[in-house]
Chains A and B, each alone.
Chain A
C-alpha cells in the first residue's frame, strides 16, 4: 500500500481559488500504481468523490454487496449493514449496489463505526442505487467513525420515473470525512435529503450534495442542520441543477449551522444552476450563534445553560432524526448525540 495525494470532492462549477472550496487534496492508501486508478474512470469525478476512489471501491472492495428488491416486493424490515475498522484490517473498502425493481419498497441503513483499538482507520466506499419506476427506497447513513479516522463516501442514485428516494445522513465521526451524495432525477421522481452533522475538536467534514433535475416535474429537497464546536471545520456544497427540459421541476435547499465556538470554521456554497425557465428553485443558508432569546427563555424556566443548549441542539436535529423508523438506530443516534454533549460539554468540546 502506498500513500498518494489526490484531488477529490469537486464543486460542480469552480469558483475563486482563494476560497479553497473547489476541491480538496487528501492522502490515501492505494494498492500499487496510482495511475492505474486514475486512468480507469476519468469522468467519475463528476458523479463520485474522485475517479481514483471510485475505481478503488469498485475493484478493491473486500465488502461487496449486490442488493436486489424484486418487482412489487417490499422489504419487510430495514436492512442494516455495519462497517467497522478492526486492528487487523485498518482499511475498510466497500461497494454496495442496490437495484429496486418497479414498484418495490425497501429501507437500507448503513452504519460506519470507529474502533477505539483501531485508530486512523481508512473507510472508502461507493453506494450505487438504481431506483426503478414507481419504487421507493429509504436510506439512512450513520457515520460515526473515530476522530482520527478517514471516512470517504460516494453515493449515486438514479431515480427513474415516479421513483422516490428518502435519505437521512448523520455525520458525527471522522478526523477527515468526505461525503458526496448525488441524485439523477427523471420525470416525476422525488428525492428528499436530510443531513445532520455534529463536529468538534479538530474534525474536518466536507459534504457535497447534488440534485440533478433531468426530468419534468421532478422534485428535490435538501435540508442540512449542523452544530460546530471546538476547532471543527466544515465545508458544505449543496447544488440544485435544473437541466434544460426539466419543466415544472421543483427544488429547495436549506442549511442552518449553529456555531458553538469562536474557533469553528464554517464554509457553505449553496449552488443553484439552471437552464430551464419553467422551474421553481430556492435555497437558503444561514448560520449563527445560539439564539440568545431562546436560551434566556429556557434558562428562565429553571434549566441550566448546558441543558438549555442541549435541548436547542437536539431540537434542531429532530426533524431529520424523526425520518427514521428503525427504533434501535434512532436510539443509537440519540445516544451518540447525548454522549458527546455530556462527555465534552456543549460549548468547547464535542
Chain B
C-alpha cells in the first residue's frame, strides 16, 4: 500500500510581530464594562454629549443581546477581564520624531514610516487605544480630502460623522457591534470629495501592545460621487498568555460612480480574538473591492459585507486565510444584491495546517428587485496535513428568476506530482511546498501593494518553516 508522505510543521517564530514594549500608559480604565467605564472613556476623550449618550445606549444593547449560537467557541472572551481603554503615553503627533522612542521603534520594525516615505499618500498609526501618528500629504488636503483620526472627526466634522456613524453597522446588529458602539476608540475618518481620485494609497496601522486589553478602532470612509480611493489597513499585536480582543468596525459608504478598494493584512497574535465587523454600502454604478489576508488571531470571525444598493453596483472580494496550530479562523464574505444589474464576485482561498481550523462562511442574497444580477463564488481549500480542519459553509438565497448565479468549492492537498516535478528539478521539498502555497495564494498577493505582497509571502514562509516529519 502506497504510503503518502506528509509534512508536519512546528509553530513559528513571529519575529518582529512579537516585539513587546513595556506596558506604559497614561490612563487605563479598570477591567470590565459598566456605565462608569464608558463615562470615563468619553471624558478622557473630551467628547460631545451626543457621543456619550450613543455609547451608553450601545452598552444597554450589548447587555441585552446574546452571543452568536454558531461559529467558533468564544466563551473565553469575558469582558469583565478585558481592559477596554488604554491611553498610550503620548498625544497625536504629525511627525515621526515626536512619537515616543519605543512606540516609534515598533512601527519602524513593521516598516510603516519607510512605507510612508516611499509609497503612501497618508498614514495613521494607532497604538493601543489612541492614534499616535497621523499625516496626510499636502496635495490631498488641498483637494479637500479629509484623513484624520476618528476622535478629531467627531469634534471637527460633527455633521458628517453624526450622519454616518454606525448607520452602516448599527449597534443592534450583533453583540460585538454593540460592544464597539460603547467602547470604540481610535480609528480613521476618510472623506473623499466628489470627483477626486486619490491615486496613492492611504494606510492605517493598528498595534495593540497592552496585554488583556481590547482594540476597538472605528474606520469610517465616505467616497463621494465619482471619487476613488485605495485604503490599506494593517494590524498586529505581540503574543501574550492572556487574551486580547479586537472588536473594531469598518463602515464604508461608496457613493454613485465611486470606487473604493479596501486591503487588509491581519496578523494579530495567537491570543487574540478578532471579532471585527466590516461593511460597505455601494450606490449606483459604484464598486467596492475587498482584499483580505488573515494570518493571525486565536479566533477570528470576519465577514466583510457588501450591500449593493444601487443599480449596477459591484462588489469583489478576494481573500486568503491561513490557519495554523491553535487557530480557529472563521472568515468569509456576505453580499446582498438589492438592485438590478448588480454584480458580485467572491474568490476565497484557505490553508490549514498543524491542527488549525479554517472555515469559509459565506452568504449571497439576491433580493426580489435584483433582476439581471450576476454572482460568482469560488472557494478553494488547501489542507497541509490531516491534523487540521477545513469547512466551507456557503449559503445562496435567490428571490427572483432573472439571475445568473454560480458557486463552486474545492478541497484538497498539495499534489504529489507537483512536488515530484519540482524536486526533480533540484528544488528542496520545503521550498517546493512553499512555492506551491505561494502560487495558490497568488490571486490575492497580486492585488496587494508590493510591500504587503512581500509581507504576505514572508508570513507564508514563516508558517511553513519547520522540521519535516
Contact = CB atoms under 8 A, between A and B. Distances in A.
B397 interface: yes
Interface string B165-188: 000000000000000000000000
Contacts of B361: 15-16
A280 B413 CA distance: 8
A302 interface: no
A287 B364 CA distance: 13
A217 to B, nearest CB: 11
Contacts of A273: 389, 391-392
A265 B398 CA distance: 6
Interface stretch (A89-97, A199-207, A256-264): A256-264
A14 B406 CA distance: 22
Interface in B376-421: 379, 381, 383-386, 388-413
Nearest to B416: A278
A269 B408 contact: no
A43 interface: no
Given A15-B361, A271-B392, A281 B410 contact: yes
A278 B386 contact: yes
Nearest to A261: B401
Interface string A264-291: 1111111111111111111111111100
A273 B4 CA distance: 22
A13 B402 contact: no
Interface string A2-30: 00000000000111110101100000000
A208 to B, nearest CB: 13
A282 B393 contact: no
B50 interface: no
Contact of A16 (B6, B70, B400, B401): B70
B392 A262 contact: no
Interface string B419-459: 00000000000000000000000000000000000000000
B70, B384, B402: most-surrounded residue (chain A CB, <10 A): B70
A19 B69 CA distance: 13
A286 B391 contact: no
B261 to A, nearest CB: 26
A14 B371 CA distance: 29
Interface residues of A, number: 43
B363 interface: yes
Contact of B401 (A22, A244, A259, A282): A259
A267 B394 contact: no
A14 B69 contact: yes
Contacts of B393: 13, 15, 269, 271
Nearest to B70: A14
A214 interface: no
A289 B407 contact: no
Interface string B336-362: 000000000000000000000000010
Interface string A70-110: 00000000000000000000000000000000000000000
14 contacts: A15-B363, A15-B393, A16-B334, A19-B365, A245-B386, A262-B401, A267-B396, A270-B394, A270-B409, A272-B379, A274-B391, A281-B410, A285-B406, A286-B407
Given A17-B69, A17-B70, A282-B409, 15 more contacts: A16-B361, A19-B397, A21-B397, A242-B411, A261-B401, A265-B399, A266-B397, A271-B393, A272-B379, A274-B381, A277-B413, A279-B412, A281-B409, A282-B411, A283-B409
